[in-house]
Chains A and B, each alone.
Chain A
Amino acid sequence: MSVDQDFGGELTGTTLWRDGWPVYDRGETVCVIGAGPSGLTAIKNLKEAGFGVDCYERETGVGGAWNWRHDRSPVYASTHLISSKPLTQFPDFPMPDEWPDYPHHALVLSYLERYADHFELRPHIWFGTEVVKVEPADNGRWDVTTRSTSKYGGAERIHRYAGVIVANGHNWSPKMPEYEGLDDYRGTVLHANAYKDSAQLRGRRVLVVGGGNTGCDIAVEAAQQAARCWHSTRRGYWYAPKYVLGRPTDQVNDQLLALRAPMRVRQWFAHRTLKLAVGDVTRFGLPKPDHKVYQSHPVVNSQLLYYVGHGGITPVPEIARFHRNSVELRDGRQIEPDLVVLATGYLPRFDFLEPELLGIDQRGKPTLYLHTFPRRHPTLAVAGLVQPDAGVFPLAHWQSVVFARYLRARQSAPQRAAEFGRRVEKEAAGTWHEGRTTDSTRHWFEVSHGLYLRELQRALDTLEGSR
């Protein structure tokens, strides 16, 4: 293996210039932004396809969001996977048999670290280096401006790459809702991003806002630790238990998918199963789900209803406004929490890219084929910008495999590359999701893993000419 290590390309002698700054030409090397799960698998798959790879990571370790040491990491002490091992692991690097069905986040980090070591990815990663700007250069190449994140700073440097894959994650920039009176509220307000450990809840009177997986997890922890817990949700959800029929729920679901059961049949089965296993959630005082199962990202939580039933969690409607010492709810009730945890999600951010490169509209949503490939820029891709009803890792794996094949095909099989390019143009506004979802930012990147992976397979077959 020969890793091209002459970082900077000073030896090439052909210095280019951009706005008065030298540009170091990295030739056919591809740039990966971020060393989280999606970035790591991009490095591995590009390397496997024979490309040189430089990866820039602003933190000092791998794992991205899954590395609790990182200041942008959203994991809290009790975070566990909500999809089971087979649907979560990379398709060519299984998690160990000895691990449980739903591993803890510390195991997931050790898995990612072992992945990086096993495939010798670390020599490709420039830690403590953040990407400031990514700009198109001629012939589909990219100028990437980087800078050190150390406290002593450092000069900016520009390198030119044959391709760029953006894997900067989408669960780190908090989405903060606006409420009337929030500024005058005397209690503590936290975004879930800053929630790390249940000790933060001990003895407090806690209001948890948000019915997603994080919101439900924190509500359960508050039920165990806090003096009081209210859980405010905007709409009704389906709460899928982690196990049905004694097996991980997602595996039972995939059994139906494997039988090619149509959506309606699966929905019917899921409604029956949930009725038996979970029952009527309105009996617990929760709002009735306003959608069918599979139409929205599933909330997987076996404990929420249990604690509601034991009085540990009081379900409440949306917040109307904040007062100095209390919170007013939509139904007129006033409650007096001293800690409000906003589990209201995250927004994607690509500060280093001009929005039109990813077709980002006024609301901030990119237009990407398979949430990965932008129109008109075949040498640019985004990895891991999906919210599947399964793990993200396998999807990110195949995204980078397809990207690597696409880059290769542009040289060796231009016809197939052109066919793929036409599909990108045509289908960039697609959804790859079975249900109609609301247009909330929460659902922008939702995909059904069955549909999504089938489309990725089609893309792969096109590029390999093996249909």
Chain B
Amino acid sequence: MTVSVLRLDEWAHPVAPVRREVLSATPELDEGRPPVLFVPGFGHGAWAYAEHWLEHTASRGFPAYAVSPRGHGASEASRKADLRAYAHDVVQVAASLPRKAVIAGHGAGALVVTHALARYPARAAVLLSPVLGGVSAALRNPGLVLPALFGGGLRLPANQLFSRELPAAAARAYAKRLGRASTRAQWQLLRGATPERAVGDPPVLVVGSPDDKIVSPAALKDAARAYGGAPLLFPGMGHDLMLDARWREPIDAILDWLEKSH
């Protein structure tokens, strides 16, 4: 879908402002590298990146930020939020950064990022284990989706999110911290909400694991192909790349890619 010039609905009904949680880690020395903004998946919050990735990204010279979309993490609650509101939160934070940002989104947060890309010309984008929605993706995960059909949250048990390498106690602790996205946004995810085309033609990298129990290898390949590339795969890892035992490998690969393409 081409980008829309006339956005009467968006202008007539601007997204209501909310208090947002933004966590950050900045390098000691500003080397002029672009900032990286991480967006968590449904139910997760900025904390998921604060565990390992933010510090690691900063240690490699990239200012790192993570935002909790409304209703997630420590951001203000918002029961009626839709995808547009989540994308708004991402764009607001991206535009507040000193330089043009790289945006990375995980799980359904990747769908949020694709919507944000139509409203902000990111320097580059990374889709991590992307859940881009649609009926076929839902059919693959009936157990996860079923409660959502009746107004509940998506069911995200620890064994679906992490590999066995992560100690069970840690996995349980993470799973306990999960919240849920709004019912409206979940429905949009299930129905599939095709974003408008990204503005500014940013390079897009898709990262995932062939052993992800939520996103199939075929879905990863499709997502990457839509942006003219192949997915970067990390076998043996679970869905939550940033929390799993071998979290260092994917983030290093992403930062290598950023260094090479900029």
Contact = CB atoms under 8 A, between A and B. Distances in A.
Interface stretch (A15-23, A115-123, A164-172): A115-123
Given A86-B10, A457-B6, 19 more contacts: A1-B262, A48-B121, A85-B14, A86-B14, A92-B119, A92-B120, A92-B199, A92-B200, A94-B88, A94-B119, A97-B92, A98-B17, A251-B14, A255-B13, A398-B5, A450-B8, A457-B5, A460-B2, A466-B2
Contacts of B88: 94
B11 interface: yes
Interface residues of B, number: 30
A347 interface: no
Contacts of B91: 94
A327 B88 CA distance: 55
A128 interface: no
B6 A460 contact: no
Interface in A419-467: 450, 453-454, 456-457, 460-461, 464, 466
Contacts, number: 75
Interface of B: 2, 4-14, 17-18, 88, 91-92, 95-100, 119-121, 199-201, 262
A97 B17 CA distance: 6
A318 interface: no
Nearest to B201: A48
The 7 closest A-B pairs by CB, nearest first: A97-B17, A258-B8, A255-B12, A457-B5, A254-B12, A453-B6, A86-B11
Contact of A258 (B9, B199, B262): B9
B12 A120 contact: no
A97 B201 CA distance: 26
Given A48-B121, A92-B119, A94-B92, A120 B5 contact: no
A120 B88 CA distance: 23
Nearest to B122: A92
A179 interface: no
Interface of A: 1, 48, 85-87, 91-94, 96-98, 117-120, 250-252, 254-255, 257-258, 390, 398, 450, 453-454, 456-457, 460-461, 464, 466
B96 A96 contact: yes
B245 to A, nearest CB: 37
A94 B121 CA distance: 12
A251 B13 CA distance: 7
A254 B8 contact: yes
Given A85-B14, A258-B12, A120 B100 contact: yes
A251 B11 contact: yes
A139 B161 CA distance: 60
Contacts of B97: 118
A255 B10 CA distance: 9
B6 A117 contact: no
B119 A257 contact: no
The interface residues of chain A, by DSSP majority, are classed as: helix
15 contacts: A86-B10, A91-B5, A92-B199, A92-B200, A94-B119, A98-B17, A118-B97, A118-B100, A120-B99, A251-B13, A254-B8, A254-B11, A258-B8, A398-B5, A460-B5
Contacts of A457: 4-6
B159 to A, nearest CB: 38
A203 to B, nearest CB: 42
Contacts of B199: 92
Contacts of B98: 117-118
Contacts of A454: 5-6
Nearest to A1: B262
A48 B7 CA distance: 22
Interface centre among B5, B91, B97, B100 (most CB of A within 10 A): B5
Contacts of A118: 95, 97-100
A252 B12 CA distance: 6
A133 to B, nearest CB: 33
Contact of A257 (B4, B8, B100): B8
Interface centre among A94, A255, A456, A466 (most CB of B within 10 A): A94
A83 B120 CA distance: 22
Contacts of A466: 2
A425 B119 CA distance: 32
A466 B196 CA distance: 13
Contacts of B119: 91-92, 94
Contacts of B5: 91, 398, 453-454, 456-457, 460
